[in-house]
Structures are given as structure tokens and as C-alpha cells.
């Protein structure tokens, strides 16, 4: 299987202008990656293709897919994983995990304050009132609904990138229904099957404990401190892009995966419909947006939700995780204020900085940003998954003019950020390894206590020079190894 | 306690799994026998097979079968025909997918693997070159899925519903086969043919050691207690599966009693007696009883505290993923 060292996959590797995770500027291998690079130098392209096929066959057999929505129909694709893993040294991870905990703690404080605490931060001008009230995801129905431990966000996916100096920065907060954790665990399982020998030189933190971590988090969210609550995962159904993940999570927690039609509200309590009759539910881990949760309170034509669910929430007989109204902090218009939230609620400086962001509703910042739009990145505040993003240096004059016009017309709907040259890592290209840009989505769980899951979803752009890492737009993924402390 | 939706999905897994295997076996037999027949006989044979499988209404929608390729397409790959092999495989996979959180991973992998081996899915007229090999593959895959069901799945309510579904489908086929073979204008079907279509020829020879006669075979397919596809055996296993399911459900209780009653009629010789005087009417009556049994099982899955059934409306591709934030 392995051949003698020879000229091969990494010989012509040139990191380029961005921070490369595996090689420093003069082409030397960084300590963390020394062994893995050595192993890949022993491979040739035929062996790489063989391993790729093994992984793809494994994913195909298990039906590990994701759905790309085109204009008319969805296309189910095999989940793409690059064989060269991402490694994070123990000390580096500790610092990152502290920063993530800090950020999620502040965001939870803000949500608790906003919906249950009199909105002190808004009154004190930490976040402008008009900005919060104008957010499409600010949810008036969430006002006054009690949330155990004030943990509004039980599962957060915080997208981080590394800039040209190698510093981590937060690119985006996802506090509604962040997806991707199942792929993290399946990536590891596939790597362990296809490339078990790669792990021999490293002590890698495991990933299979996520189901138990999530279960204990959700258990702690039961109303009234119920010790053995009935937990369910609520999915829109088998045609949803993330259905594989919903089923995966239910299975790994050992709880039921339900659809809206499996649940019914009676006397302000939620029940599942079983063949024995109705059985009470205590905690719902929902993977359905707020708007679809309850047709009585939100979209009347939604068949995905549960009529009367809001009444049960108000009665305190059930907990919905993540809580209602979290989308207000996913609003990219609120994102620039998160560092100030950290100072306000926690009295500390942010451990992880934001990317430099210009708020388009500020006339001075707008003027400056629009003048340099060809160097910057414009993002619509309400989108996710990379949709609607304009990358200035890659845009035509016409696209830039159109973006300027849209921003001038609706400044509240846009932010503009400095372009971050996402860090790179060797990735399998045609016949060798080439640098490809990547980001990282770690997952933070909060219930009675906060836990940061080791690693996260590393998403990688598959085309040379591309900064688009979203799987929905052709991006791939990598197994992410957080190394145990004894490993350099 | 199992969700009503999960119970229903697993019941259909059992029914469609049985259907995929049965239709493959029948199609294989038909494809082989038709080769040696003249055009008119071949058409009659094809129609008899369609009646045996209870697909007359589905055939009416596509018109008469004029050739062997048409018969193959109809029974193998026509996705508008819920009784085709491909439709059954898709239904097994989709139903398993909807209960993916509660079934063994290996079960899903086997069913998904079978589905992936049909590159011509969705092309109703694209019959594969090696029909025999394809059908053999389907039957082996069905056996592998059965193996995982039997050896890898916990003996919980979900498993019981799969078993009940399989036994219902199998009973209905066995009775349908006997009924079709007694109703054919060309006379009662060849006894060996009945045995081959139920994979029982070898067992019959071993047990009776003589050339099969029609009367003996009909009796064997109805009454043999140790033959997996006999009506008696199927009813016994269905009754066993229903025992303990939904003790508060009147419909499931009715289904249990119906299965027990039918079994008793077979064991006490009542059916045999009726068959001697009026075989077609007796078989038709059995078919009606089995349909009623299946209806009761399906009705029993609905929760007893009847709430308005919410029509299943999934988010269709293109329409969304909108149900969930793309985060």
C-alpha cells in the first residue's frame, strides 16, 4: 500500500499569499503537520484515487448525501471529503474553545436580556434598538417565554477563519439550526476506515461522543428539571437537505425523530402520536425554522409545524431547542455589535475578533466601503450558506455597480467586510496536493453548562483560488483533528 | 412506544420487501416460460402472471401486453406500477429512510445498496440486458435485508410491524396465486408452476417425494405448518407479530382475532372442506378476509385518541430546505 519516499504529491506545493496551515512562508512544514506531511509524501496519485474511491463508496453505501437546490429540483450528491486532514494543536484549540465559549455566553446573555430581561443592552445603547426591532428574525412571540438556565442557544455553530497572520476571526454566528455536525462524525469514521494508518502517529480527540453531549444538554433543558425527559428531534421530513443529519442525531441520542404531523398539542401540552395513544414530550430539538413551527402563530400554511406549540411554550410544559427568536443574532447586521456585547455582559475583551465590518446604515462607513467595494466583500444580512455574497475582487464592474445600487437602496440589508484571504491547506487536486482555502465551523453546546465539541466542520473550497467553501456551492470538507495535549 | 408514523412505515417496509422478492421470482419464471410459447399463449401467460400478482388495475392503465419486453418493463421497472420490482425497492428504501433513526445502520445500507444497483431507475422502458442476473441480484439482496432484519434488529414493536407486513403480503400473494390458477380459462394451473412461484418445489418433493398433483399442492400451500409461504404458516406468524402490539387499540385487537380465526378455520379443516366443493368461492372469501385483516392492521396504527390526520406534505426539493435555516 505504501511506497518508498519519492517525488510526489507535495513536491511542487506553493502556499501562496494566504496563511497556510501546514507550511510556513519559506516552505517549511509546521510542527503540527510534520508527520502527516511525511505520510502523504509516501503516497502517489493512484493510491490517493483508490482511497478517495473507498471513502466515496462508503458515503454512497450509507447514503451520506446533501442536497443542492437548483431552480426547479434538488440534486442529491455524495458528501465530498478531502483526504488531507486539518490538524489543530491542543494549545491552539484551547484558546479557540475559550473564545467560542465566551462568544456564545455573551450571545446567550443578549438573547435572555432581549426576550426576558428588559433589554438592558438595548436601553444602554450597546445595540441600537431600531436595528434589533427591524431584524426580520426578531421574534415578538418569544418575549416572556421562560428558558431554562437562560440558555437560548443550545447548539451554536460559529464560523471562524484565519487571516493572513494566522489569527482566528469569527466570520458568522449561527444560532438557529446550525447543520454539519453529522458530517464531522462521518468524516472521521470514513477516515478511520480508509486511512487508519494516518492516525498511528497522532493522539486525536474522538468525535463519537457528540450524541451523548447533545443528549445531556437537552436533558438539562427539560421544564421543571424533569430528570428523565422525553426528547424528540423535529425534522421537516425526508426531503429536507439536512434530513440525513436529523436522523443521525436522533439515532446517536437514542430518541425519536418526529415530523410535525407526529406531534399534537392538547391542553397546552405537546404529545407524540404513538400506536398506544398520546405520549407527552418534554424537550423538542427542532430543526425547523421559527416561521414554520406553529401555523397558528406563524405561517398559517405551514404543514411542517405543530398547531398550538406556542401555547405549550408559553405554558412552560415543553422546551424548544434552540429557543424561539435566536435568528436576531444570526442577522449579520447585529454581528458587528457582538464584541461590544462581550464587554457589556462579561466585562472582558473578546478572545476572538470579528472580521472588520462596515455597517451600511452608517453614511460615512457606507461611503468609504462603496468606494472600495472592488476590494471588499458585500453580504446580505439575512442570507446564509454563501447566497447573495459579492466578493469584490472577483466581481465584474456591472456586478459591482448593481451591488452599490442595492446597498444604497436598502442599507439596513447589507454589511460590507474586509476580504479575508482564508487560510489554506494542502488538498487533493488533479495529480497532486494544492493549497485550497478553508474555514471552520465548531459547535458549542449550552444547557446547564457549556461544552465546546472538539474540532468542527472544516469546509474547503475545491477550486484553486476560490473563497467559496459552502457545500451548497461546490465546497468540500476535511476531517478535523484536535490533537491531545501530549502531541506537539 | 412506537410512533404511529414509524409503525406504518415499517409495516410497508415488510409489505414492499416481500413484494420486491415475489415479483422478481414471478417475473423470472414468466420470462423463462414465455420464451418457449407462441405469441397468443405468451400473452395469456403474461396476463395470468399479472392476475396472480393482483395488478390488473395497474395493467389497465398501460394497455394490453403485446410482447415479452413489455411484460418485463411492466413488472420490473415501471415506476407507475406500484407492484413493479423497482417501485417496491424504492418504497422499501423511502420507508426505511423515514425511520432511519430507529433501524440498524446495516439494514439501511443493504436497502440503499440495492437501490443504488439500479442505474436504470426512472427509465421505465430500459430493461437490463441480463434480466436473470438482475432478478437474481434482487432476490439475494432481499434475502440479505431479511437477514439483517432477523439478526440485527431488536425484537421491538418496529420489528413486529415489519413481520406483520411481510406475512400479510405473503398471505395475500399465496391466496391470489391459488385463486388466479383456479380461475384461468385454460384450466387449473400446473401444480409444479404453483410450487415454483412460491419457492416451494424442493420442499414439496422432499416432503411428499412424488410428482405434484394439483389438489395436493393447493392443500400444501394452504395448510403446511412448516412451509414459510403457506397460508397457515403466514397467519401464525402474523398473529404472533400482532400479539403485544397496541393493547389499547381495538382495530389491532380485531386484526389479531381475525388472524387467529382464519388460522383456526385452516387447522380445523373447514377451509379444506369448502375447497372440495367450491374452490374459487372459498379462495375469493379468503382473499376478502385477508384484505379485511390488512385494513384492520392499518387502522390500528392510527392513535386511539383520534385527532385529525395531518396530510403529509413534505418540503419538496426546490421548494425549500426552507423549513430549516441553511445555517
Give start-end residues of each CATH 3.30.1490.270 domain in chain A: 356-418
Q: DSSP 3-state assignment of B170?
A: helix
> What pLDDT score was predicted for residue B124?
43
- Judge whether residue A431 has pLDDT over 90: no
d(CA A235, nearest CA chain B) in Å: 8
**pLDDT band at residue B188, thresholds of 50, 70 and 90?**
low
CA distance A215 to B275: 59
Q: A75: nearest CA in chain B?
A: B317
* Nearest residue of B to residue A277, measured between CA atoms: B303
- Per-domain residue ranges of chain B: 12-153, 157-301
Share of chain B above pLDDT 70, in %: 86
Contacts of B327 in chain A (CB under 8 A): 157, 174, 176-179, 330, 384-385
Of A157, A152, A179, A337, give the one whose Cα is nearest residue A249.
A179
What are the φ and ψ backbone dihedral angles of A84, each rounded to 5 degrees? -80, 115
> What is the CATH number assigned to the segment(s) A356-418?
3.30.1490.270
DSSP state of A454: S
Q: Cβ B1–A240 below 8 Å, yes or no?
A: no
Encode pLDDT of A446-456 as tens digits.
999 999 999 99
B321 and chain A: CB distance < 8 Å anywhere? yes
- Give the gap in angstroms from C-alpha B126 to the nearest C-alpha of chain A: 22
Determine the distance in angstroms separating the CA of B76 from the nearest CA of chain A, rounded to an integer. 23
Asked if A441 and A157 touch (Cβ cutoff 8 Å), the reply is yes
pLDDT tens digits, B106-159? 999 999 999 988 765 544 444 556 788 888 899 999 999 999 999 999 999 999
* Burial class of residue A12, CB neighbours in 10 A (0-12, 13-18, 19+): exposed
In the prediction, which pLDDT does A78 show? Answer: 83
For A262, the closest of B3, B109, B113 (CB atoms) is: B3
Provide, as residue numbers in chain A, all residues whose Cβ is less than 8 Å from the Cβ of B252: 275
Give the pLDDT of residue A7: 54
Interface list for B 234-263 with A (CB within 8 A): 245-249, 252
Count Cβ neighbours within 10 Å for each residue of B207-220 and write b for 16 or more, e otherwise.
eeeeebebeebbbb
In this complex, the residue of A179, A258, A303 whose CB is nearest that of residue B327 is A179
Name A443's bridge partners.
A157
Average pLDDT of span A458-487: 86
Inter-chain touch B1–A60, beta carbons under 8 Å:
no
Measured between CA atoms, the residue of chain B closest to residue A251 is: B101
* Residue A302, pLDDT score: 78
Subunit contact A384:B327, Cβ cutoff 8 A? yes
Contacts by A64-71, CB closer than 8 A, 24 or more apart: A64/A183, A64/A186, A64/A244, A65/A244, A66/A183, A66/A241, A66/A242, A66/A244, A66/A471, A66/A472, A67/A240, A67/A241, A67/B317, A67/B321, A68/A472, A69/A241, A69/A472, A69/B317, A69/B318, A69/B320, A69/B321, A70/B318, A71/B318
Nearest CA in chain B to A266: B307
ipTM: 0.75
B96 touches chain A (CB under 8 A): no
Instruction: Measure the CA–CA gap between A177 and A154, rounded to whole angstroms.
Output: 10
The interface residues of chain A toward chain B in range 453-472, judged by CB-CB distance below 8 A, are 472
Contacts of B59 (CB under 8 A, 6+ apart): B47, B50, B65, B74
How confident is the model over B244-301, as pLDDT tens digits?
787 778 889 999 999 999 999 999 999 999 999 999 999 999 999 999 999 999 998 8
| Best residue of A275, A279, A456, A473 to probe chain B, by most B CBs closer than 10 Å | A275
Residue of A nearest to B95 (CA): A238
At residue B260, φ and ψ (nearest 5 deg) are -65, -40
Q: Model confidence at A377, in pLDDT bands (50, 70, 90)?
A: very high
Cis peptide upstream of residue B193 (ω within 30 degrees of 0): no
Write the CA distances from A13 to A7, A9, A150, A162, A431, integer angstroms: 12, 8, 49, 20, 12
Q: Considering only the beta carbons, identify the residue of B94, B318, B322 that sits closest to A73.
A: B318
What is the number of CB-based contacts under 8 A between chain A and chain B?
170
CA–CA separation, A59 and B109 (whole Å): 10
Task: Looking at the structure, give the CATH architecture of the domain made up of residues A92-346.
Answer: 3-Layer(aba) Sandwich (3.40)
Q: What is the pTM of this model?
A: 0.86
pLDDT of residue A407: 95
Q: Work out the minimum CA distance from B91 to partner chain A, whole angstroms.
A: 13
Q: Does A122 touch chain B (CB under 8 A)?
A: no
Q: Say whether pLDDT at A295 is over 50.
A: yes
Q: Which residues of A touch B316 (CB under 8 A)?
A: 74, 239
Q: B100 touching A, CB under 8 A?
A: yes
CB nearest A304 (choices: B100, B248, B323): B323
Q: Once rounded to an integer, what is the mean pLDDT over residues A218-235?
A: 93
- Nearest residue of B to residue A137 by CA position? B325
Which of residues 187 through 226 in chain A touch B, CB cutoff 8 A? none
Question: Where, residue-wise, is CATH 3.40.50.11290 in chain A?
Answer: 92-346
pLDDT above 80 (res A76) = no
Judge whether B105 is closer than 8 Å to chain A, CB to CB.
Answer: yes
Chain A residues in contact with B165 by the CB 8 A cut-off are none
Q: Is B122 on the interface with A (CB under 8 A)?
A: no
**Across residues A331-346, what is the average pLDDT?**
97
Neighbouring residues of B272: CB distance < 8 A, sequence distance ≥ 6: B219, B222, B223, B266
CB contact under 8 A, A275 and B2: yes
Amino acid at each position: 500500500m505504501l511506497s518508498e519516499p519519492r517525488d510526489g504529491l507535495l513536491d511542487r506545493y506553493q502556499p501562496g499569499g494566504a496563511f497556510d496551515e501546514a507550511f510556513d512562508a519559506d516552505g517549511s512544514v509546521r510542527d503540527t503537520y510534520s508527520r502527516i506531511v511525511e505520510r502523504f509524501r509516501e503516497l502517489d496519485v493512484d493510491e490517493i484515487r483508490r482511497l478517495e474511491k473507498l471513502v466515496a463508496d462508503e458515503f454512497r453505501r450509507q447514503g451520506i448525501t446533501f442536497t443542492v437546490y437548483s431552480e426547479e429540483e434538488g440534486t442529491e450528491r455524495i458528501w465530498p471529503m478531502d483526504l488531507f486532514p486539518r490538524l489543530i494543536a491542543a494549545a491552539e484549540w484551547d484558546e479557540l474553545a475559550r473564545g467560542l465559549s465566551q462568544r456564545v455566553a455573551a450571545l446567550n446573555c443578549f438573547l435572555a436580556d432581549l426576550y426576558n430581561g428588559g433589554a438592558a443592552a438595548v436601553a444602554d445603547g450597546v445595540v441600537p434598538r431600531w436595528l434589533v426591532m427591524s431584524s426580520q428574525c426578531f421574534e415578538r412571540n418569544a418575549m416572556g417565554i421562560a428558558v431554562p438556565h437562560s440558555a437560548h442557544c443550545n447548539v451554536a455553530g460559529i464560523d471562524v477563519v484565519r487571516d493572513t497572520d494566522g489569527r482566528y476571526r469569527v466570520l458568522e454566528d449561527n444560532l438557529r439550526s446550525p447543520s454539519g455536525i453529522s458530517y464531522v462524525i462521518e468524516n472521521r469514521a470514513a477516515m478511520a476506515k480508509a486511512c487508519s494508518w494516518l492516525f498511528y502517529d497522532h493522539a486525536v480527540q474522538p468525535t463519537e461522543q457528540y450524541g451523548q453531549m447533545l443528549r445531556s444538554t437537552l436533558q438539562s433543558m427539560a421544564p421543571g428539571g424533569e430528570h428523565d425527559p422525553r426528547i424528540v428531534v423535529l425534522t421537516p421530513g425526508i426531503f429536507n437537505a439536512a434530513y440525513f443529519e436529523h436522523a443521525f442525531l436522533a439515532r446517536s441520542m437514542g430518541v425519536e425523530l418526529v415530523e410535525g404531523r407526529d406531534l399534537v398539542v392538547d391542553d397546552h401540552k405537546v404529545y407524540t402520536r404513538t400506536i398506544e395513544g398520546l405520549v407527552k414530550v418534554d424537550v423538542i430539538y427542532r430543526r425547523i425554522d421559527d416561521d414554520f413551527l406553529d401555523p397558528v402563530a406563524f405561517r398559517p400554511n405551514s404543514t411542517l409545524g405543530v398547531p398550538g406549540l406556542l401555547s405549550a411554550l408559553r405554558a412552560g410544559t415543553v422546551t424548544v431547542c434552540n429557543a424561539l427568536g435566536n435568528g436576531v443574532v444570526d442577522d449579520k447586521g447585529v454581528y458587528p455589535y457582538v464584541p461590544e456585547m462581550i464587554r457589556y455582559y462579561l466585562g472582558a475583551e473578546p478572545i476572538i475578533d470579528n472580521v472588520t465590518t462596515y455597517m451600511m446604515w452608517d453614511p460615512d462607513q457606507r461611503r468609504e466601503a462603496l468606494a472600495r467595494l472592488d476590494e471588499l466583500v458585500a453580504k446580505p444580512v439575512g442570507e446564509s450558506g454563501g447566497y447573495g455574497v459579492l466578493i469584490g475582487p472577483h466581481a465584474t464592474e456591472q456586478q459591482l455597480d448593481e451591488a452599490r445600487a442595492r446597498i444604497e437602496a436598502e442599507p439596513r440589508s447589507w454589511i460590507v467586510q474586509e476580504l479575508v484571504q482564508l487560510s489554506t491547506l494542502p488538498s487533493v487536486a488533479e495529480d497532486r496536493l494544492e493549497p485550497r482555502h478553508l474555514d471552520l465551523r465548531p459547535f458549542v453546546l449550552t444547557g446547564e453548562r457549556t461544552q465546546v465539541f472538539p474540532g468542527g466542520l472544516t469546509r474547503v473550497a475545491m477550486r484553486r483560488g476560490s473563497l467559496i467553501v459552502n457545500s451548497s456551492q461546490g465546497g468540500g470538507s476535511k476531517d478535523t483533528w484536535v490533537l491531545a495535549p501530549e502531541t506537539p | 412506544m412506537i410512533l404511529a408514523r414509524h409503525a406504518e412505515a415499517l409495516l410497508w417496509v415488510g409489505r414492499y420487501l416481500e413484494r420486491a422478492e415475489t415479483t422478481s421470482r414471478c417475473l423470472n419464471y414468466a420470462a423463462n416460460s414465455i420464451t418457449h410459447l407462441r405469441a397468443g399463449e405468451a400473452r395469456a401467460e403474461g396476463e395470468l402472471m399479472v392476475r396472480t400478482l393482483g395488478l390488473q388495475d395497474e395493467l389497465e392503465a398501460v394497455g394490453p401486453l403485446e410482447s415479452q419486453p413489455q411484460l418485463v418493463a411492466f413488472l420490473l421497472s415501471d415506476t407507475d406500477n406500484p407492484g413493479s420490482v423497482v417501485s417496491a425497492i424504492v418504497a422499501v428504501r423511502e420507508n426505511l429512510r423515514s425511520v432511519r433513526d430507529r433501524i440498524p445502520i446495516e439494514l439501511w445500507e443493504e436497502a440503499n445498496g440495492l437501490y443504488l444497483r439500479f442505474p436504470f431507475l426512472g427509465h421505465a422502458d430500459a430493461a437490463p440486458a441480463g434480466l436473470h442476473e438482475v432478478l437474481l441480484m434482487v432476490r439475494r439482496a432481499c434475502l440479505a435485508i431479511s437477514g439483517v432484519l432477523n439478526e440485527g434488529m431488536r425484537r421491538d414493536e418496529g420489528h413486529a410491524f415489519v413481520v406483520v407486513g411481510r406475512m400479510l403480503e405473503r398471505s395475500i400473494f399465496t391466496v391470489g396465486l391459488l385463486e388466479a390458477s383456479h380461475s384461468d380459462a385454460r384450466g387449473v394451473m400446473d401444480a409444479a408452476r404453483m410450487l415454483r412461484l412460491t419457492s416451494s418445489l424442493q420442499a414439496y418433493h422432499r416432503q411428499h417425494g412424488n410428482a405434484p398433483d394439483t389438489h395436493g399442492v393447493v392443500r400444501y400451500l394452504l395448510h403446511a405448518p412448516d412451509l414459510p409461504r403457506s397460508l397457515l404458516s403466514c397467519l401464525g406468524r402474523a398473529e404472533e407479530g400482532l400479539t403485544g402490539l397496541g393493547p389499547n387499540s381495538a382495530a389491532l385487537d380485531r386484526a389479531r382475532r381475525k388472524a387467529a380465526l382464519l388460522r383456526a378455520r385452516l387447522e380445523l379443516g373447514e377451509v379444506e372442506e369448502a375447497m372440495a366443493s367450491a374452490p374459487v368461492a372459498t379462495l375469493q372469501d379468503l382473499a376478502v378476509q385477508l384484505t379485511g385483516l390488512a385494513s384492520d392492521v392499518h387502522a390500528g396504527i392510527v392513535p386511539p385518541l383520534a385527532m385529525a390526520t395531518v396530510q403529509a406534505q413534505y418540503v419538496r426539493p426546490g421548494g425549500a430546505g426552507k423549513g430549516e435555516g441553511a445555517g
